[in-house]
Structure 1
Amino acid sequence: MTQRAVAAVILAAGMGTRMKSALPKVLHPVAGRPMINRIIDTLAPLAPERTVVVTAPDHDAVRAAVAPAKTAVQQPALGTAHAVLAAREHLEGFDGIILVMFGDTPLLTEETMRAMAGAMEGPADPAVAVLGFRPEDPAAYGRLVTSGDGALEAIVEFRDCDEAQRRIGFCNAGIMGLDGRVALALLDRIGNDNAKGEYYLTDIVALARAEGRACVTVEGDAEEVMGVDDRLRLAAAERVAQRRLRNDAMANGATLIDPETVHFCWDTRLGRDVTVEPHVVFGPGVTVGDDVHIKAFSHLEGADVHATAEIGPYARLRPGAEIQAAARIGNFVEVKKAVIEAGAKVNHLSYIGDARVGRQANVGAGTITCNYDGFDKHHTHIGAGAFIGSNSALVAPVRIGDGAIVGAGSTIAEDVADDDLAFTRAPQTAKSGWAAGFRAGRQDRKNKNAK
């Protein structure tokens, strides 16, 4: 923990035109979580005293997404320093550490942001800390010019670099720590005498040094400071996030048979000794207990899977699905807003929605709960130890009692008492020799047509 209070200013006013989207850029998800919310989550362990998100005037959706964080509007958009100053009313009187970052850098880690805050409490008592990185190709990034003792002397934009400076591999990530005691005064002095007429946050380094204040750097990983400004970079960020989530899952005791084919969500929770086969997708809100086996090509979202359950292959668990211990959900089975109790089996080609399946019950292939009447959803109860024959339709609301048996091919619209047998079938009719006569007649007609 830092000794000084921390405030966070997240710059999210960019229009994101290269995303070609009606959705504000920072609301595009990475691992199922909007980029801006991922950053707020990353900062949460630092317990910021104030968090301010700077938005564009028409970004009501962004302001709603980041609540209860404070927001400020940058209007017009006149550069990064101007954006930070848009948060002035929330920073007045704050004398702690201000962390400034961008809403389109969803891969930042808690460790790096702690390092930034820690650098601001170093012996040099810096006015500014700048996050740097070393890309494989420095390209047109601004360079961080440091002295022999590691102090930051200047940030030089690529177009202004001389040949020696262009050979510097340490580049500016744009993320800064500022001393709240002097930040606003320094920001107010930044001018806009440049080709774009904008106020650049990078100019604060020269101003702080001119006043005799130290500036320092923190080195981060090139991957985590990647900004997302188009769909290609969004996909690249998703790949990184997925790799991290897979590595975390395996480090915590899960087996991923083919990790690259498993897709996680930011809040997926797997227990120990879980086995996940290839091509499994986890949507939001999935918790999996210990010793669960999830077979290939299954999709889980909003589901709670208890210890020792078995899922799939080709199973779909939708929101509200609760699969209790040792229960089995098999191939091409869909479960929605239903509890499958311990030891129950729904193994083949079934839909179980708005239902409860009791302990040790068996639901046969092709069974569906008819839960929707065109206006409302209704509940189906299948009792403990009940047996539902294949290709049955249970028309909700309906209760199948404990130990009851439903004959295959039945449509059940009334309650079935405990231990009863219920079935609905038309009487079977047989016509002796009809099939042979049918075949002979057809073959005769086929022969005549051929002539």
Structure 2
Amino acid sequence: MSEHALFPTLAVVLAAGQGTRMRSSLPKVLHQVGNRPLLGHVLAATAVAGIEQLAVVVGPDTPAVAEYVQQVAPAAQQFIQQQRLGTAHAVLAARPALLRHEQGCVLVLFGDSPLIGAQTLQRLRQTLIDGVAVAVAGFTTAQPGPYGRLLTEGGRLLAIREAKDASAEELAINLCNGGVMGFRADHCLWLLERIGNGNAQGEFYLTDAVELANAAGLPVVAVAVAEEEILGVNDREQLHAAEQIFQRRRRQQAMQAGVTLAAADTVYFSADTELGVDVRVEPCVVFGPGVQVEQGACIAAFSHLQHVRITAQPAC
């Protein structure tokens, strides 16, 4: 029997945030990068990573989010966070799923982080399979600024210190909290239920699980990931930044797969764009949703395509 069969994984995706800084009537997680909602990118990553079970926590006032999840991930369990009282409180909204998931791994993801990769999820899961009780995604940055700092010693993660609570020495640390966390299922609920709200905001913070786990003698580690993977989108500027990273990645993937981009920076992809080998794309092309281009086809400059299949054609 494989390791993954012995350690099935439940991903709990938090998608209940109001997103007031987006200044929009559209729920934050439904704003798009690469013509796919932010939440859709996270759900797609869980599918590619082979995560067996999925729970999505939505808000009480965002029926469009629930409808979208039902459309793209009908097997996902949905739970409503009736009050927004912090990240740990949000995860506990999925308590029925956590109670049923008695063994294996639990990954806590955020619906507004569209750049998370399947390989990162697999690494977090493997860390838990290897015996760690709590794993936290961390990234190194030259400008740690407002990020929470990861306090480590001898390969062990001791605590997550919020910037506003950090000492001068701790503020000099450039290993920061990426938010995404993993738990061994047999410790997850036990830790979550012991998180209190004795802080200035009166909220239940998921990050408090680190110190609770350490106090109980459980192994806790940080797993290094690329900073861009855990980029959260909270406003339009961050949405723009995520779009630029997505397009850069997608252009690189296309060229590495045998596609010629005559002026790569002027070509814009959708998340579901499919291009065969030896496709040539001339400058200033926009691939809208639902485009498939067969091997050897040429896409002429200034084309804007959507919901179409392009067969091989003579050279442009």
> What's the TM-score, normalizing by structure 1?
0.67
Counterpart in 2 of 1:268? 273
Is residue 61 of structure 2 the alignment partner of residue 58 of structure 1?
yes
CA distance in 2: counterparts of 1:300 and 1:129, whole angstroms: 43
Q: Is the 2:298–2:312 contact (alpha carbons within 8 Å) kept by the matching residues of 1?
A: no
Paired position in structure 1 for 2:227? 222
CA contact (8 A) 1:152 1:217 kept: yes
Pairwise CA distance, 1:275: 1.1
TM-superposition CA deviations, 1:41-67 (whole Å, max 9, x none):
101133323211111101111111112
Aligned match of 2:80: 73
- Which residue in the other structure is 1:100 paired with? 108
CA distance in 1, matches of 2:132, 2:257: 39
Q: Secondary structure at the match of 1:178?
A: strand
- The residue correspondences of 1:401-412 to structure 2 (distance < 5 A) are none
Partner residue, 1:15: 18
Cα distance change of structure 1 residues 309 and 62 upon mapping to structure 2, 3 Å threshold: farther
Cα drift, residue 135 of structure 1:
2.1
User: Are 2:249 and 1:249 equivalent residues in the alignment?
Assistant: no
Q: Deviations over 1:132-154 (max 9, x none)?
A: 00123100111111112x11111
Aligned to 2:303: 298
> Could you tell me how far apart the structure 2 residues matched to 1:290 and 1:189 are?
56
Cross-structure match for 2:285 = 280
SS in 2 for 1:224: helix
Among candidates 160, 165, 180, match of residue 160 of structure 1: 165
Q: Distance in 1 between matches of 2:240 and 2:94?
A: 31
Return the offset for 1:274: 1.2
Change (3 A) 1:272 1:46: closer
Q: Deviations over 1:222-271 (max 9, x none)?
A: 11111000111101100111111111111111110110000111111111
Unaligned runs of at least 5 residues, structure 2: none
Secondary structure (helix, strand or coil) at the match of 1:7 reads strand
Aligned counterpart, 2:143: 137
Q: What do the CA deviations read for 1:337-374 (whole angstroms, capped 9, x no partner)?
A: xxxxxxxxxxxxxxxxxxxxxxxxxxxxxxxxxxxxxx
Q: Given the alignment, which residue of 84, 91, 94 partners 1:87?
A: 94
Give the one of 39, 42, 46 matched to 2:45: 42
Q: Percent identity?
A: 48
Per-residue deviation, 1:310? 5.9
Q: Please give the secondary structure, in 1, of the residue aligned with 2:229.
A: coil
Higher-RCO chain (CA-CA 8 Å, sequence separation at least 6)? 2
- Distance in 2 between the 1:93 and 1:293 partners? 51
The amino acid of 1:102's aligned partner reads F
Aligned residue number for residue 29 of structure 1: 32
Which amino acid in 1 is paired with 2:133?
A
For the pair 1:192 / 2:200, whether they are aligned, the reply is no
| Cα offset, 1:198, TM superposition | 0.4
Distance in 1, matches of 2:168 and 2:292, equals 54
Query: SS in structure 2 opposite 1:39?
Result: helix
Q: Match of 1:181, SS?
A: helix
Partner of 1:413: none
Q: 234-243 or 156-165, which moves further after superposition?
A: 156-165
Instruction: Kindly provide the amino acid, as one letter, of the partner of residue 146 in structure 2.
Output: A
Q: Deviations over 1:161-206 (max 9, x none)?
A: 1121111110001110011112111111111011010000010011
Query: Which one-letter code corresponds to 2:292 in the other structure?
Result: T
* Counterpart secondary structure, 1:126: coil
**Structure 1 309/42 Cα, relative in aligned 2: closer, same or farther at 3 Å?**
farther
Question: Is residue 149–residue 171 contact of structure 2 (8 Å, CA) maintained in 1?
Answer: yes
CA contact (8 A) 1:289 1:308 kept: no
Which sections of structure 1, spanning at least 5 residues, go unmatched? 312-451
Larger deviation, residues 57-66 vs 45-54: 45-54
Q: 1:49 to 1:275 in 2, by over 3 A?
A: closer
CA distance in 1, matches of 2:50, 2:68: 19
**Counterpart Cα distance in 1 of 2:29 and 2:182:** 21
Amino acid at match of 1:78: L
Matched to 2:92, the amino acid is L
Inter-partner Cα distance in structure 2 for 1:45 and 1:107? 13
Distance 1:289 1:88 in 2: 46
